[in-house]
Structure 1
Amino acid sequence: MIALRKKGSLPLQALAWAWPTVRGRAGAAAGIVVLSFLASGAALLPPYLTQRLVDDGIVGGRMDVVLQLCGAFLALLVAGVAVEAVSRLAYLKLSAHVLFGLREQIYRHLQTLAPTYYARTRGGEILSRLDGDVAEVQRFAIDAPMGLLNAAFSLVVALALMLSLSPLLTALVFALVPLHVAALLGSRPWLERSAQAVRQQSAAMSSFFVESLRAMKFIQATNAGARQEAELRAHHGDYFAALRRSQVASLGAGGVQRILSGLGVLLVFAVGGSLAAAGELTVGVVVAFIAYTTRAAGPLQTAAGVFMGWQRAKVSLQRIRELAAELPTVTSPAQPVALAQPVRGDLRLVDVRFGYGEARVLDGASLDIPAGRKLALIGASGAGKSTLIDLLQRHYDPGAGHILLDGVRLDRLDLAELRRRVVVVDQDPVLMPGSVRDNLRFVAPDADEAALLRALDLAGLARFAHAGGLDKAVGASASALSRGERLRIALARAILQDPAVLILDETTSGLDLPVAQAIVMAVDRVFAGRTRIVITHNLASVGELDGVVELRDGALVEQPPARPPAPLLRAV
């Protein structure tokens, strides 16, 4: 669960959200800060050495001082390069650790959300938040604290050195700081609006690619390529316009800061030069002070960068908070009830009511399926058969009534345990990228080679399995396999899961009758004695049954069976 729901300061929330992933690397973060301080110190010493080189060495005619200071310059240069290299590599490791941790945190939350969330949310929008928005928050959460710490250290050291050279010139330069602050505050709304527009257009483009690539075969078949290209060009135009506005906003805010920094340098030239001409300052002091004025602008630029970065991060954090606000519809109980072993697979629905908003799908549905029975579930399209499956696997909980497995309410069972016991094979099974072996082990990671081959054999893919089929790539969207092969691989996965209840959701729909009957025979052979629910529009393809129930008007209505079975409906 993502802890972003409490009210409070958004910057603090960004840092608090990242803190659990940073906490394990606190030592590495502290080391990076120390290395950063060393690098900043090495960068601040050269102007001071320059003052001595000019005044004591060159003007004073001391070549020994010149050579000593040149050696010191070289040592600082080498040390600075080494420290910077070590610091950047350490930062890369820390930054990657935090980014990956935050992304895993979001992905973990996404796995708890109900199917309705994915039905109403564009895939590209989710991808944009999972990738771009998380990366933006990560950059701010790591870069901002470290950048500000380093900037504060550099500013304090530079201020001390500048005061030692000339209090008057120091006061002159730092008198411009209020102007820097005012310029930043004035640019805030512009920066925030432009960042929001860029993230929205990026999400829209991601959604376009996700949806169009998934539908490419349909686009080709309908000769819609030109229209899709025109839509892509429109997305490009909108994205470029938003990107240009964001760039103009950043350039404007950054440009004002650079102008003010340059103004400080010019003031030092003018005032310091006149003081040097009057003999009140040495040339070396003026040269060193100009260098420090430039370096003192660095921390101010860093603060400005953090400010502008926060405007972008704030937008991304808000988008992530919207995702975090999507609460899981179901969770495992704190103290789940264990099923008695062995699990029989007895299912019972007691006056189950469920709907999506105002639309009622199940309205007082009751059903008793004794363990080991094979039941056909029929009903018109949209009657709620898929909803019933989602309730059996507890993607949702009923609005009223209960569903029980072996006498235990589903909401009292551990979710992972329930979904191991109730397995669904649908008409378009999902196969993950990789090989057939990868897909079988997706549900049974510890299964050995013999178990995989046996599962394929039982599913009717013996020749396929022993001809190197385990190593066969399934292809993008399982396009390298026929539909029959995909269904049999899904059946092999169910065999490996060893469920107590198997649900076939239109599994044989659209297949030739002999192929459909062969798959049903394999199911009946392997899962004999297990509870089976077959959702179908064609009873001729599902073999012998113990009963038929129709889902009609939110109720489960028993149909006359082909042979007398035990009662399936129980008065409630």
Structure 2
Amino acid sequence: MKHIVSYLAPYRASIALEMVIKILGTLAELLLPWMLQVILDDLVPEKRLNAILLWGGGMVVCAAAGLVFNIIANRMSTGISRQVTRQIRFDLFRRVLRLSGAQVDEFTTPSLISRLTSDTYHVHEMIDRMQRMAVRAPIMLLGGVAMTLFLDPVLACVLVLPLPLMVAGVWALSRQGIRLYTATQTAVDGMVRRAQESMAGIRVIQALSKIDYETGRFDQANRETAQREYRAGLLMNATNPLINAILNAGLTGVVVVGALRVNAGASQPGAIIAFLSYFTMILNALMMVSRIFVMLSKGIASGRRVAEVLQAPDDMLVSPIPASPDHAHIAFEGVSFSYGKAEKDLYNISFSLQAGQTLGIIGPTGCGKSTLLRLLLRAYDPDAGRILIHGRNLLSIPSQELHKMFGVVFQNDFLFDGTLTDNIDFGRDLERDALCRAAQNAQAEFISTRPGGLDGRIAARGADLSGGQKQRVLLARAMAGSPEILILDDSSSALDYKTDAALRRALAHEFSGVTKVIVAQRVSAIRHADCILVLDEGSVIGQGRHEELMQSCPAYRAIAEAQMGEVD
């Protein structure tokens, strides 16, 4: 939580000025009942009309000052909280993008989404309300008590006696509320996960007539979220009845004691009226305090969740490891890896590629093909072995330098709402000729037939493109940056054989000096690779060229025969 508070440091001067304005506005309001008491008890009995008008004008000035000062202070608090939350959200998003694969797995994507949205909203509300109420409420509370002591110490004591009991009750409820609101935000993570999964697979859900099933799953997550929110709200809403009960008991005592004192001549009616006005102020202040505790409970719970991400350690550190004399462009040496650190997802993977060579990776679903690519991109670090590029251990290469080496098309990649130019360029400020050349090499001729060509817009996720068109736009994006290593993770599965063959010819001729790593389900996509890895359950069961594997690897031969009818 201290990390979140540090974001307020640049606004210290503005917050101090806002507090001064808020204090002045609140003090102006505190003068009103006292001035009314002077008019009723001192001026009206003596029929001093001019003095009454003068003091009445003073009340109007104080009321106007309180209104104007509070409006100015509230506008300042809104601006400060908006800017602080904007910076927190920006830093949070930037930190999320820098999280390692293991850290994303630990936090989970739905949880990161809810921390970026609902949690930052709660932090915003806490910062805003604390600036508005945390100054006004204590001054009004303490000032009201002080003024009641000035007017009638005996009645003030009657009112003040229940306050410690009330403060203890609100404090206990708020501590429990923080725990419940933390549990509520965890339930929100689950609901976001359900919604995200259903939206990503909406076409499959519709095709398999599973709308009612998915609706039921979401309803279950929604109910759990609502129940936790209800329990937290029920607990925190108990603060208002608690405050009202205690204060009403005090008010009853004040009315009874006040009537007795007026009857005995120890107090005056104007003082009682002013006293009741101050009591209303104290009541409003305490209601504000109760709302502050509700906001604090939500804000602290959400602030801790946000701070967990902001303060997550960078576990992809760069180590000063000396380079190896090995001249291979890419080398895996005895690499093993496990997501759960129990069973190995990859075991003892070794191979090397020279610059310009092509590595093909094939195997059944779940055998570790995509995991191998993630290790090469250093989304995860291997548990054993080492990965080298130009003889340099991946652990010694800064991430920006490393990732500039690659052009990547993942199995489940994304396109965003914008022009085709924006999607292919991807913020790299590439020349127009490079974009056109990349689109041509990716066999994306369809772009020229679309309205606007490269400057034509596409929908989010490429919803208005076919599967093959999306893959070709993604291929163009990977090729446009002139990478030295091109990673293609099942990136031509939606292409017809003619287009696939044309793509492979373009890769061979236009990217002959680029080292290529191709994950494929089709043997035809990798049969001309310089080295082919056949994976099964995380281990290499075959390695070599196509002709060698047809002789030495039964699993590869079975795949080739099933797809291409080869028997030699």
TM-score bracket, normalised by the shorter chain, equals: 0.7 to 0.9
The CA distance in 1 between the partners of 2:73 and 2:323, in whole Å, is: 52
| CA apart distance, 1:518 | 1.7
Match of 1:260 among 218, 228, 246: 246
Pairing 1:45-444 to 2, within 5 Å after superposition: 45-116=31-102, 118=104, 123-141=109-127, 143-144=129-130, 147-188=133-174, 191-192=177-178, 194-196=180-182, 198-317=184-303, 319-320=305-306, 329-333=315-319, 346-356=329-339, 357-444=341-428
Q: Structure 1 stretches of 5 or more lacking a match?
A: 1-13, 565-572
| CA apart distance, 1:50 | 0.6
Q: Is the alpha carbon distance of 1:375 and 1:307 closer, same or farther for their aligned partners in structure 2, counting shifts above 3 Å? A: closer
The CA distance in 2 between the partners of 1:427 and 1:190, in whole Å, is: 45
Tell me which residue corresponds to 2:442.
459
- Deviations along 1:259-288, one digit per CA (max 9) or x if unpaired, are 222233332222222222222222211111
Q: Is the alpha carbon distance of 1:437 and 1:59 closer, same or farther for their aligned partners in structure 2, counting shifts above 3 Å? A: farther
Alignment TM-score, normalising by the size of structure 2: 0.86
Q: Is the alpha carbon distance of 1:422 and 1:556 closer, same or farther for their aligned partners in structure 2, counting shifts above 3 Å? A: farther
Q: Is the alpha carbon distance of 1:560 and 1:229 closer, same or farther for their aligned partners in structure 2, counting shifts above 3 Å? A: closer
Q: Is the alpha carbon distance of 1:463 and 1:483 closer, same or farther for their aligned partners in structure 2, counting shifts above 3 Å? A: closer
Q: Are 1:501 and 2:458 counterparts? A: no
- Deviations along 1:217-249, one digit per CA (max 9) or x if unpaired, are 112111222333344444454444444433332
Tell me which residue corresponds to 2:560.
none
Q: Is the alpha carbon distance of 1:332 and 1:435 closer, same or farther for their aligned partners in structure 2, counting shifts above 3 Å? A: farther
CA contact (8 A) 1:354 1:399 kept: yes
- Deviations along 1:141-169, one digit per CA (max 9) or x if unpaired, are 55447633433333343333223212222
| CA apart distance, 1:450 | 4.3
Q: Is the alpha carbon distance of 1:207 and 1:402 closer, same or farther for their aligned partners in structure 2, counting shifts above 3 Å? A: closer
Q: What amino acid does structure 1 have at the position aligned with 2:114?
A: S
Q: What amino acid does structure 1 have at the position aligned with 2:402?
A: L
Tell me which residue corresponds to 2:561.
none
- Specify the SS of the correspondent of 1:25: helix
Q: What amino acid does structure 2 have at the position aligned with 1:93?
A: G
Q: Are 1:530 and 2:500 counterparts? A: no
Task: Provide the aligned C-alpha RMSD in A.
Answer: 3.1
- Deviations along 1:53-89, one digit per CA (max 9) or x if unpaired, are 2123322211112211222222223222222222122
Tell me which residue corresponds to 2:532.
548
- Specify the SS of the correspondent of 2:238: helix
- Specify the SS of the correspondent of 2:404: helix
Tell me which residue corresponds to 2:473.
489
CA contact (8 A) 1:379 1:385 kept: yes
The CA distance in 2 between the partners of 1:19 and 1:427, in whole Å, is: 41
The CA distance in 1 between the partners of 2:546 and 2:156, in whole Å, is: 96
The CA distance in 2 between the partners of 1:372 and 1:450, in whole Å, is: 23
| CA apart distance, 1:417 | 1.2
Match of 1:559 among 530, 536, 544: 544
The CA distance in 2 between the partners of 1:228 and 1:60, in whole Å, is: 79
| CA apart distance, 1:483 | 2.0
- Deviations along 1:535-567, one digit per CA (max 9) or x if unpaired, are 223232347433333345634743245599xxx
The CA distance in 1 between the partners of 2:130 and 2:263, in whole Å, is: 43
Q: What amino acid does structure 2 have at the position aligned with 1:397?
A: D
| CA apart distance, 1:120 | 7.1
Q: What amino acid does structure 2 have at the position aligned with 1:102?
A: I
- Specify the SS of the correspondent of 2:440: helix
Q: Is the alpha carbon distance of 1:391 and 1:40 closer, same or farther for their aligned partners in structure 2, counting shifts above 3 Å? A: same
Q: What amino acid does structure 1 have at the position aligned with 2:337?
A: F
The CA distance in 1 between the partners of 2:278 and 2:386, in whole Å, is: 74
CA contact (8 A) 1:345 1:531 kept: no
CA contact (8 A) 1:488 1:519 kept: no
| CA apart distance, 1:184 | 2.0
Q: Is the alpha carbon distance of 1:62 and 1:452 closer, same or farther for their aligned partners in structure 2, counting shifts above 3 Å? A: farther
Q: Is the alpha carbon distance of 1:53 and 1:201 closer, same or farther for their aligned partners in structure 2, counting shifts above 3 Å? A: same
Q: What amino acid does structure 2 have at the position aligned with 1:219?
A: I
Deviates more, 1:505-514 or 1:324-333: 324-333
| CA apart distance, 1:204 | 3.2
Tell me which residue corresponds to 2:15.
29
Q: What amino acid does structure 2 have at the position aligned with 1:109?
A: R
Tell me which residue corresponds to 2:553.
none
| CA apart distance, 1:110 | 2.3
Q: Structure 2 stretches of 5 or more lacking a match?
A: 550-568
The CA distance in 2 between the partners of 1:517 and 1:428, in whole Å, is: 22
| CA apart distance, 1:410 | 1.0
Match of 2:497 among 513, 538, 550: 513
- Specify the SS of the correspondent of 1:59: coil
Q: Is the alpha carbon distance of 1:450 and 1:258 closer, same or farther for their aligned partners in structure 2, counting shifts above 3 Å? A: farther
- Deviations along 1:189-230, one digit per CA (max 9) or x if unpaired, are 663565345434433332222221222111211122233334
Q: Is the alpha carbon distance of 1:557 and 1:133 closer, same or farther for their aligned partners in structure 2, counting shifts above 3 Å? A: same
Deviates more, 1:110-119 or 1:100-109: 110-119
| CA apart distance, 1:424 | 2.0
Q: Is the alpha carbon distance of 1:123 and 1:353 closer, same or farther for their aligned partners in structure 2, counting shifts above 3 Å? A: closer
- Deviations along 1:15-54, one digit per CA (max 9) or x if unpaired, are x121332112222211221121122112211101111221
- Deviations along 1:499-548, one digit per CA (max 9) or x if unpaired, are 11112222222432112112222222331211112222323234743333
| CA apart distance, 1:324 | 6.5
CA contact (8 A) 1:549 1:559 kept: yes
Deviates more, 1:96-105 or 1:401-410: 96-105
The CA distance in 1 between the partners of 2:76 and 2:131, in whole Å, is: 16
| CA apart distance, 1:412 | 0.5
The CA distance in 2 between the partners of 1:156 and 1:248, in whole Å, is: 29
Q: Is the alpha carbon distance of 1:360 and 1:198 closer, same or farther for their aligned partners in structure 2, counting shifts above 3 Å? A: closer
